[in-house]
Structure 1
Amino acid sequence: MSNQSFVSPDLIRQRFSRAMSDMYRDEVPLYGALMELVAEVNAQTLEQHPDLARHLRQTGEIERLDLERHGAIRVGTATELATLSRLFAVMGMQPVGYYDLTPAGVPVHSTAFRAVHETALHISPFRVFTSLLRLELIENPELRTFAESVLARRSIFTARALSLIAQCEADGGLNQADAEAFVEQALETFRWHHSATVTAAQYQQLSAQHRLIADVVAFKGPHINHLTPRTLDIDQVQRLMPAHGITPKAVIEGPPRRDCPILLRQTSFKALEETVAFTDQEQSQGSHSARFGEIEQRGAALTPKGRALYDRLLNAARDQLNAFPNESNADRYDALMRDHFEAFPDSHDAMREEDLAYFRYFATEQGLAAREQAQRPTTLAALIAAGHVRFEPLVYEDFLPVSAAGIFQSNLGDDAQSHYAGQSNQQAFEQALGRPTIDELQLYAQTQQRSLEQCASALGLPGL
């Protein structure tokens, strides 16, 4: 079969993300209200801040703004994780980063499946934060054995989805009809099921150990637990949510508000109580809460030096708070974050000069016009000073462990926090995954380097 008939994995990913959004909007109507609110705030922000609008047009970010969303899913076994990796590969998504959430009392470790090249990200930046339950952290051996047996009996993928994954692997791609079928079949893995696979008493036992364990083990599939549109002003969305009938979590996770946003800020509405039927009930008489709506605002990707500074300032603020951020201390936490983060430069010039963030470089018309001049500048600093090269920060495409744990905890309830003696175990996660995860910082460095090489080529220079 000629690969000329294959649909691009990036386009399959784009179709899948839209189908996922439509499904989740039907399942969780409040998510639709959240999407409308985010669209309104984004439109107002672009109108009120022409410099931001110009920046987004120059970088191409404006075209993908309404495509910006991520989902999250939790699976229970190594087989489920490895098969998900194969499913996401059909859509050009690879496992980027390793996240250990056990220090925050959440018994999972995770990765993010996403595209890895800037051109693919512009077509569809859709990501799925994927967590694997750490069954070894269930303290009760009988309950652990029970959870393993329940998970071993289920199949979270349709037979047709598995067949299309294998076909794609063998042929190197999917044609139009098969790509459409794949999106339809893959969506079934992420669909909500009102029927549980355990009795009410068994559900309570799992939930008593940790509510997230019950969420992973007690259902037919790993239902998508949230989708996340991208906003340009998360503080404004947070303020407006109550007026739209949406109750936000108390604290925006991530760095404080800045003139030049960095990394990732997230907030959400609280998980919904949904009726479920346990195996010893004829009708939906029980309830379960796991699914919620989330919003994100993305800023500049930080270098190792920048991440070290971010982590130091974040830890200092949280240590001074000396408690889990919640409704009772939200104002104090926000003030502590603002105070500590005064030590982080708040301009792109300073962040670039101090090697705190990654940037994409562009040759300007002025630079192109001067490429034949004998006395033109040839170093990056001189080219920027002369206006021959401009730069824009790379958007952070990944996640933050403390923020992810904060979102999990706020939607599971503060009483869901637990303390685990287990240490980070990236080796075990990658063994379950069937491949190593990719270092996200290397990806940003490669994108930055490619842009420098493109600038040098455009300006007729041997390198930058």
Structure 2
Amino acid sequence: MSSDAIRHSFSLAMSKMYQKEVPLYTDLMDLVAEVNDEVLDQQPEIAEQLKHTGEMERLSMERHGAIRLGTAAELAMMRRLFAVMGMQPVGYYDLAPAGVPVHSTAFRAVDTVSLNNSPFRVFTSLLRLDLIADETLRQQAQAALDARNIFTDGVVKLIEIYEQEGGLTQEQGEQFVQEALETFRWHEQSPIAKDIYEQLAGQHQLIADVVGFKGPHINHLTPRTLDIDSVQQGMQSRGIPPKAIIEGPPRRDCPILLRQTSFKALVEPVSFKGHDGQYEAGQHTARFGEIEQRGVALTPKGRALYDQLLNEARDKLGVTPNESNAELYYQLLSEAFAAFPDDYQALHEQELAYFHYQPSEAHSAQATGLDVSTDNLQQLIEQGVIRIEPIVYEDFLPVSAAGIFQSNLHTDTANSYDGQSNQQEFEQALGASVQDELALYAQRQDESLQACLAALQQAA
């Protein structure tokens, strides 16, 4: 069973499980599907673009999930689990400066064919216990994490078989999906006492979410929409409570990077294990449904401009964007991003974004007698011999991720963490280096250019 097939099967099983656990997520998926159908019907150029890039088939299965881990050992084994599904760690994200005590990576497929087979990715965070100020509380948290085992014996055995044999049979692959699913399942009973949970929550709600449970329950899944503003409005009209702010860049004709919103996290009943062994009733807030609208991946130059303009808008606002200042924030964001070209040709010419290069349908006749080389690339594009299509951004944005976390943990004001970003420490816990997402986009762009030129030269 191929890794792509295992990943696709796992993503479907995960979605089915989460819809049972959080029924409101099903309503969200239905809304997103309606909005996407409307966009494709009314804007045929978007449908054409998705067909050219091979994304039409995966639009309805576009998902990402998010989990939070407590220890280096959990992260290292999770890397091995995701490797069975062809998912590699891409990017390093430090959320501590935004008041969220974790650092993270995204496990995902890395090549175009695999992404189109199944784009499922999991944003995976590791708790930074060193940021808990109270020494006694930190030791209690560490003890609770050390006492748990989040992986079934069955999944560990199948991971070892995969590593030894270089793959799994169909039967083993199907068994792996069921065993792996148990790691991400919601458990209503907490193995810690209510007073310890409340102390951890007093430090940060996310710490309580990680330490207070038997495993890293999936805290959200995410369908992809083609119009996030319409989904945001649709949630309000359907009684699905949306977060106040759509995170990321403003609405544009040519979407860039990633825009995200969500419905607010559910308040769920939890039973805490008392010091006397009896369970005590309580509640927990963490799980929600998220929506994403993905645009073109930006080059280092484009990303620097994005960061500059985003910071400019947020600095002018002066406070964390929230319900009371949402309209002003959107206005400041639009004004700042007027400096960011909103045209694919301009984004390409100014080397702000990454693109697929494809021979146009009539390339055979047009290419004859032309200089088909990288030196003549711009002319070939202008003459319609080569078509450019945006490479979709597959990764995440630290400021946006922090905004989603804070909103759904009911903490719009960031805690202050002075800890330094430590990618080396994260990679040591992971047991591997994370891949540079910008290098992956550059590689995909270069591969598409070489394939395109080869096709044109052959035709000429």
Matching residue of 2:387: 390
Answering whether residue 432 of structure 2 is matched by residue 438 of structure 1, we say no
Residue identity matched to 2:296: A
The match for 1:339 among 319, 323, 335 is 335
| Residues 190-248 of structure 1: CA deviation (Å, up to 9, x unaligned) | 00000001111111111111110000001000100000000000000000102222000
Q: Retained in 2: the 8 A contact 1:197–1:218?
A: yes
1:312 aligned counterpart, secondary structure? helix
Cα shift at 1:282: 4.8
| Residues 70-123 of structure 1: CA deviation (Å, up to 9, x unaligned) | 000000000000000000000000000000000100000000000000110000
| Residues 366-421 of structure 1: CA deviation (Å, up to 9, x unaligned) | 222345x3355541112112211101010000000000000000011126631011
For residues 110 and 237 of structure 1, the distance between their equivalents in structure 2, rounded to whole angstroms, comes to: 27
For residues 113 and 292 of structure 1, the distance between their equivalents in structure 2, rounded to whole angstroms, comes to: 20
Q: Retained in 1: the 8 A contact 2:88–2:110?
A: yes
For residues 199 and 30 of structure 2, the distance between their equivalents in structure 1, rounded to whole angstroms, comes to: 39
Answering whether residue 246 of structure 2 is matched by residue 246 of structure 1, we say no
Matching residue of 2:288: 292
Q: Retained in 2: the 8 A contact 1:275–1:284?
A: no
Matching residue of 2:178: 184
Matching residue of 1:119: 113
| Residues 25-84 of structure 1: CA deviation (Å, up to 9, x unaligned) | 000000000000000110111111111111111221111101111000000000000000
Residue identity matched to 1:253: E
Runs of at least 5 residues in structure 1 that lack an aligned partner in the other structure: 1-6
Matching residue of 1:219: 213
For residues 21 and 63 of structure 2, the distance between their equivalents in structure 1, rounded to whole angstroms, comes to: 17
For residues 297 and 119 of structure 1, the distance between their equivalents in structure 2, rounded to whole angstroms, comes to: 21
Answering whether residue 52 of structure 2 is matched by residue 54 of structure 1, we say no
415-424 vs 166-175, which moves further: 415-424
Matching residue of 1:16: 10
Q: Matches of residues 256-267 of structure 1 in structure 2 within 5 Å?
A: 256-267=250-261
Q: Retained in 2: the 8 A contact 1:264–1:298?
A: yes
2:213 aligned counterpart, secondary structure? coil
Matching residue of 2:204: 210
Residue identity matched to 1:77: T
For residues 63 and 251 of structure 1, the distance between their equivalents in structure 2, rounded to whole angstroms, comes to: 30
282-291 vs 436-445, which moves further: 282-291
The match for 1:426 among 423, 427, 440 is 423
The match for 1:402 among 374, 399, 402 is 399
Q: Matches of residues 150-169 of structure 1 in structure 2 within 5 Å?
A: 150-169=144-163
Matching residue of 1:351: 347
| Residues 279-330 of structure 1: CA deviation (Å, up to 9, x unaligned) | 0285662000000000000000000000000000000000000000100110
Q: Retained in 2: the 8 A contact 1:368–1:458?
A: no
For residues 90 and 364 of structure 2, the distance between their equivalents in structure 1, rounded to whole angstroms, comes to: 36
For residues 414 and 130 of structure 1, the distance between their equivalents in structure 2, rounded to whole angstroms, comes to: 20
Matching residue of 2:33: 39
Runs of at least 5 residues in structure 2 that lack an aligned partner in the other structure: none
Q: Retained in 2: the 8 A contact 1:68–1:125?
A: yes
Residue identity matched to 1:350: A
Structure 1's consecutive aligned runs of 4 or more residues displaced over 2 angstroms after TM superposition are 281-284, 368-371, 373-378, 414-417
187-196 vs 241-250, which moves further: 241-250
Residue identity matched to 2:150: I
Matching residue of 2:190: 196
Residue identity matched to 2:131: L
Q: Matches of residues 285-324 of structure 1 in structure 2 within 5 Å?
A: 285-324=281-320
Q: Retained in 2: the 8 A contact 1:103–1:420?
A: yes
Residue identity matched to 1:311: D
The match for 1:70 among 50, 64, 69 is 64
Answering whether residue 327 of structure 2 is matched by residue 325 of structure 1, we say no
Residue identity matched to 1:385: E
For residues 164 and 290 of structure 1, the distance between their equivalents in structure 2, rounded to whole angstroms, comes to: 30
TM-score (norm 2): 0.97
For residues 89 and 371 of structure 2, the distance between their equivalents in structure 1, rounded to whole angstroms, comes to: 43
375-384 vs 139-148, which moves further: 375-384
Aligned Cα RMSD in Å?
Answer: 1.3
Residue identity matched to 2:36: N
Distance 1:390 1:284, change over 3 A: farther
Residue identity matched to 1:448: Q
Residue identity matched to 2:57: E
Q: Retained in 2: the 8 A contact 1:300–1:393?
A: yes
